[in-house]
Structure formats: structure tokens, C-alpha cells
Amino acid sequence: MTTADTALVETWPGTVFPPAGVGVVVFDVVGTLVEPSPSVAVAYQQAALRHGLTVDAAVIQERFKAAWRRQEMVDAAAVPAFATSRGREAERWHAIVDDVFGGEAVSGAIFADLWEHFGRVEAWQPLVHGRALVRQAIDAGVTVALASNFDERLLAIAERLEPLSWVPHVFASSEIGWRKPAPEFFRWVERRLGCGPDEVLLVGDDPELDVAAARRAGWRSLGVADR
């Protein structure tokens, strides 16, 4: 995280939210409003165990980080960069699971298990600071939306899990056809909400995919955690 981004993080909860002049607040979802519970590493470990494979959670955590980064690089190198679809999102997660379990024969079955797991509302828990920010944005009377790199599995979860269920507009990458940090992602959200870049604030946990990418798109942005 850069110094500028850290300074931004420190502005909340120390300042007025949403800031003056903001008419639209767009929230990232994973790591900003909700987190996996149990953790990704433990969910992967439990899924592997159900298929007869024992792997240490710390090993899974390291492999998962590397696999996730590898898929981000695949998307960055694609033409056009960061375009996505339902098919690409399923392919991403299948490749990540394959990377984590080293091409084990049961990897496909573990992937199917995990795909279903992370599509269930019970796999997620709200973050306290996220809940407070969504409540403040709604109470301020601004337009509030969710815009996530999560795929369309998010839509069913968002209907049932607070504070996601409080938000009237839910946009998922596979529906948009683009992932953050693609500028097209931000333009698509503007079109759907009927707003211009100068009135939007993005709130997110990722210094690059949320905070920096939104600013390049001409939005304001607020980082909420240093992960």
C-alpha cells in the first residue's frame, strides 16, 4: 500500500462519510463488507478432506495466494485485459483449485465442492466496519451500489446477507463483462446508475484493484483496510 493510500485509510472513521459532493457510493464486497467464514484456507482444507486429501492450512494459504496472483496475471495479459464472463470465472477458480492441490485426481471434485460452498450465504460473514459504512451511506440519502469482482453467485448471497441486502444495486463482474481494474468496469457501473465519474466514491479494501483503479477512472476512492 502506498503512503497516499494509507492516508486515505486513516480518513475513516475520522472524517465525515460519505464526503461532501459524493452522490453515489459504490462498495467493493469481499474484504470490504464481508469475508469468508471459515477462512479460504480452512474451507479449502475441509473440502479436500471430504475427498480424502489432507493438506496443511498454512500450505494451502501460500499456494492460494500464488494461484490467485497467477490468474490476475492471466487476465492482465489477455486481450482485452480484464474482460470476463461466467465461463472465465469458473475457469479461474478451477485453475486456482488445481494449482492449490497440485493436480491431484480429486481436484475437479474439490473444485465443484468449493464452487458450491462459496455460493452459499453461510460461507460469508459481515465485517463490522462495512456494515457501519453502508448504513451511513444509506442514511445520507446517496445512491448506494455493490460492484464486485465476484461472479454472479454474489447475487443470491446479496439478497440474504446484511449489509449487502440493504443495497438496491448489485453488480458482479461476470454480468458486467469486466473485472476491476479495467476502466470499462467503472464506465459500465456509471451507465447503469446514470451518473458521471466526478460524483462517485468507491469504497474498497484492495489498494490497486479498488483504490487506484477507481481513481484512474476519475472516481474518488476510499481504502478501508490494509490487507
Q: Which residues bind Mg ion (CB under 5 A)?
A: 28, 30-31, 205
CB of 180 to Mg ion, least distance (A): 9
Q: What distance lies between CA 63 and its chain's CA centroid?
A: 19
CB of 28 to Mg ion, least distance (A): 4
Residue with smallest beta-carbon separation from Mg ion = 31
Nearest CB to Mg ion, comparing residues 175 and 205: 205
Nearest CB to Mg ion, comparing residues 75 and 205: 205
From the number of C-beta atoms within 10 Å of its C-beta (0-12, 13-18, 19+), residue 203 rates as buried
At a CB cut-off of 8 Å and minimum separation 6, what does 202 contact? Answer: 26, 27, 28, 147, 210, 211, 214, 219, 220, 221, 222
Nearest CB to Mg ion, comparing residues 5 and 205: 205
CB of 32 to Mg ion, least distance (A): 5
Nearest CB to Mg ion, comparing residues 30 and 123: 30
Greatest alpha-carbon span in the chain:
55
CB of 163 to Mg ion, least distance (A): 15
